[in-house]
Amino acid sequence: MRRTLVVTQFTLSIVLIIATIVVYRQLTFMQTRQLGFRNAHQLVIDFQFDPRIAGHLGQVTTLLKSIPGVDNVCISSGVPGKRNNKIDTRIQNSWGEMQDFQSDVYFVDTGFLQQYHIGLVAGRGFSGSQSPDSTGAMLINEAAAQSLGYNSAKDAIGRPFEQASGKGLITGVIRDFHFHSFREKVQPLTIRMLSGSYTFLTLDINTPPTESMLGALGNKWQQLAPGLPLTWFFADETYNAQYSTEQHFGRLFICFSALAISLSCLGLFGLTIFSTLRRTKEVGIRKLLGASVSGIIGLLAREFVVLVGIAFAIGAPLAAYGMHHWLAGFAYRIDLSWWIFALAGLLTMSIALLTVGLQTIRAALADPIKNLRTE
């Protein structure tokens, strides 16, 4: 029963250690992988379609650019990391037919692509708010072009589209970027210019926001829209907030792993004491017959090493199975590398040996005459 409990405890510890490593590696992967756009130093204001802002966007952007530390300002209906609506869209596919599909849509101004560093693969961007581009031009991403059957992005240029009440031509194809989280593949995206659809102002700031900058921003805002709350956030923080569930998982796994390892070590320590007390006479006789201290330590520790080995043989496949299914929920994910399991096994074995080491060394160094007399 004692051995079974020790194996069970260490099996749970190994599963939790592997799960913790995998969760944190996946989280790091999602937060450090190239997103296809730049969201650092982007302060976003949601003006909630307020007509005092929406009706004077040119004046608003000019006034906000005058704030020290603000390099540029762009306008959009959405920002990466925020959920946005899908819209029914028809675009001519590679077979010459008008294909119906639902796409995510961003309505932006001419500076959005440049400010967010979203690159073009083919064609051109928008040329100006007063040009025909303001109603009759559309940009699509590579995923949309592929869903329409175009092997080359250039082939999509000039194709007609219909979306809501607007019609026009595809003028450019942008490089795919992760406007949603890594849980899902990059979906078809369309980008247009459409006045009345904007709700976000993105300020490109060149320094971390200071109290003076935020104070100046608050003063300008009250000049523009008295009484309208200044609701702002950082684009990168909002994007990373999509992974709050994984962050909570990681913290929980660390807590449960520490608790499971502590209980395992207590159980192993108790089993070590029990085993060494039962074998006191055997140890004394072995030492009198010439057994070395290292040999006796190995003899006493062998049983516990075997128990931890059994726990690893049970726990590693269980962890691999569970983590494989957890990672399947992400379209972009890490691989379950062998070193994760090796690290978990090495860590667990080191903790086990450290736990039993002191007691086995003490038993091996004890005076055999005293032990035999006591027996």
Q: Please name which of 242, 247, 118 lies closest in space to residue 183, comparing C-alpha atoms.
A: 242
Q: 176: which residues sit within 8 A by CB, 6+ positions away?
A: 36, 141, 142, 143, 186
Q: What is the pLDDT of residue 275?
A: 66
Where does the pLDDT of residue 149 fall: very low under 50, low under 70, confident under 90, or very high at 90 and above? Answer: very high
Give the chain's mean pLDDT.
85
Contact of 228 with 50, CB cutoff 8 Å: yes
Q: 288: which residues sit within 8 A by CB, 6+ positions away?
A: 368, 372
Give the pLDDT mean for 127-143: 79
Give the pLDDT mean for 304-333: 91
Instruction: Report whether pLDDT(321) > 70.
Output: yes
Contact of 310 with 9, CB cutoff 8 Å: no
pLDDT 10s digits, 52-100: 999 889 899 999 999 888 999 999 999 998 888 889 999 999 999 999 9
Give the pLDDT mean for 143-166: 92
Q: What is the pLDDT of residue 83?
A: 83
For residues 291 and 374, the model is more confident at 291
Measured CA to CA, the distance from residue 375 to residue 360 in angstroms comes to: 18
Instruction: Report whether pLDDT(370) > 80.
Output: no
Q: Please name which of 76, 46, 87 lies closest in space to residue 198, comparing C-alpha atoms.
A: 76
- Return the H-helix or E-strand segment holding 44: strand 42-46
Instruction: Look up the pTM and report it.
Output: 0.79
Q: What is the pLDDT of residue 200?
A: 95
Measured CA to CA, the distance from residue 10 to residue 313 in angstroms comes to: 11
pLDDT 10s digits, 250-293: 888 888 888 888 877 777 777 766 666 666 666 666 666 666 66
For residues 359 and 200, the model is more confident at 200
For residues 149 and 370, the model is more confident at 149
For residues 305 and 272, the model is more confident at 305
Where does the pLDDT of residue 322 fall: very low under 50, low under 70, confident under 90, or very high at 90 and above? Answer: very high
Contact of 102 with 262, CB cutoff 8 Å: no
Q: Please name which of 44, 72, 68 lies closest in space to residue 215, comparing C-alpha atoms.
A: 68
Neighbours of 8 (CB within 10 A): 15
Instruction: Report whether pLDDT(201) > 80.
Output: yes
Q: What is the pLDDT of residue 288?
A: 62
Bridge pairing between strands 166-174 and 160-163: antiparallel
Tokens of 155: 């082939």
Instruction: Report whether pLDDT(363) > 70.
Output: no
Q: Where are the domains of the chain?
A: 2-33+243-374, 72-200
Give the pLDDT mean for 21-35: 88
Give the pLDDT mean for 133-151: 89
Find the range with the poorest average confidence among 106-115, 337-346, 363-372: 363-372
Where does the pLDDT of residue 175 fall: very low under 50, low under 70, confident under 90, or very high at 90 and above? Answer: very high
Q: Please give the share of the chain, as a percent, with pLDDT higher than 90.
A: 44
Q: Which range has highest mean pLDDT (121-135, 242-256, 357-371)?
A: 242-256
Give the pLDDT mean for 185-213: 89
- Rg (C-alpha) for the chain, rounded Å, is 32
Q: 194: which residues sit within 8 A by CB, 6+ positions away?
A: 77, 107, 134, 135, 166
Contact of 187 with 104, CB cutoff 8 Å: yes
Q: What is the per-residue burial (b if ≥16 Cβ within 10 Å, else e) of 255-283?
A: ebbeebbeebbebbeebbeebbeebbebb
Where does the pLDDT of residue 12 fall: very low under 50, low under 70, confident under 90, or very high at 90 and above? Answer: confident
pLDDT 10s digits, 180-194: 988 889 999 999 998
3-class secondary-structure state, position 166: strand
Q: Please name which of 28, 31, 8, 12 lies closest in space to residue 250, comparing C-alpha atoms.
A: 28
